[in-house]
Amino acid sequence: MNETLRKSLESAALAVRSRAYAPYSKFQVGAALLAADGQIFAGCNVENASYGLTICAERVAIGSAVAAGHKQIVAVAVATSGGHSPCGACRQVLSEFGPAMEVILIDADDPMRTRTTTLAVLLPEQFSSGAL
């Protein structure tokens, strides 16, 4: 991915993070996905008093992309305080749409600590039903 596109993806993740609804954990997360055609889809975490109903930022972004007709994701940028990687459930969901995708982990407190990996490294043996 070129540098301009990467910066746009990172900026989208950081911007949407500020809109997260996280009154319980105070842990705001923003995610931005890059579809195969170059479009960017963003999402933030949305917590709920019934904590199991909380929706992660990555899954909100996936829902937006799929709702717009996109099912091939080539990269994701995730912005958190500390630069944390997606949870296991989000790794599995992301793998459905791009098992080899690039993953950019942004430390919102210190963007110089941003690092890049791949979903294959984060989830080396994703579950597959074999249906696709």
- Cite the annotated binding site by residue number: 45-51, 56, 87, 90
Q: Is 121 helix (H, G, I), strand (E, B) or coil?
A: helix
DSSP state of 18: T
| Annotated binding residues for Zn(2+) | 56, 87, 90
Angstrom CA distances, 51 to 32, 89, 113, stand at 23, 15, 30
What does the alpha-carbon distance between residue 16 and residue 9 come to, in Å, rounded to a whole number? 11
Catalytic residue from among 3, 10, 58, 125: 58
Active site residue 58: yes
What does the alpha-carbon distance between residue 66 and residue 81 come to, in Å, rounded to a whole number? 27
| Annotated binding residues for substrate | 45-51
Show which residues are catalytic.
Answer: 58
